[in-house]
């Protein structure tokens, strides 16, 4: 696998303090520059914010699936962990955890 080329860190979504459009959100690094990653609409913020988590979950799942033929006692636990990671990332992407991840009620 190649080197990751995206902005590292946990991404957060917050309302843009200087919006161009009324529903502009900024995607930034948790504890860092709030405008480091992207500016987008509120409806797109959850999936953009979740991109690093989804990538990591998919990488983990791919690695696990590539090695499932070597079934041993740990495969079931690893499969459950990969599924849990993917579920968490997908929840973020679908906006089900925007408020908790950004520390803002309702993502605002």
Strand boundaries in 17-99, DSSP class E: 24-29, 38-41
pLDDT, the chain, mean: 76
Residue 13, phi-psi category: left (phi > 0), alpha (psi -120 to 50), beta (remainder): beta
Name the β-bridge partners of 13: 27
pLDDT bracket for residue 23 (50, 70, 90): very high
pLDDT single digits (tens) 56-99: 888 888 777 767 655 556 667 777 788 788 878 877 776 775 44
Q: Check whether 49 has a pLDDT greater than 70.
A: yes
């Amino acid at each position: 696998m190649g080197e990751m080329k995206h902005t590292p860190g946990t991404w957060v979504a917050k309302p843009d303090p200087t919006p161009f459009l009324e529903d502009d959100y900024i995607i930034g690094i948790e504890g860092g520059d709030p405008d480091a990653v992207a500016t987008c609409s509120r409806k797109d913020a959850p999936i953009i914010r979740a991109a690093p988590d989804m990538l990591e979950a998919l990488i983990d799942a791919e690695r696990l699936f590539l090695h499932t033929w070597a079934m041993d006692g740990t495969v079931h636990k690893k499969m459950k962990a990969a599924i849990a990671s993917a579920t968490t990332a997908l929840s973020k992407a679908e906006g089900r955890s925007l408020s908790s991840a950004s520390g803002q009620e309702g993502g605002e």
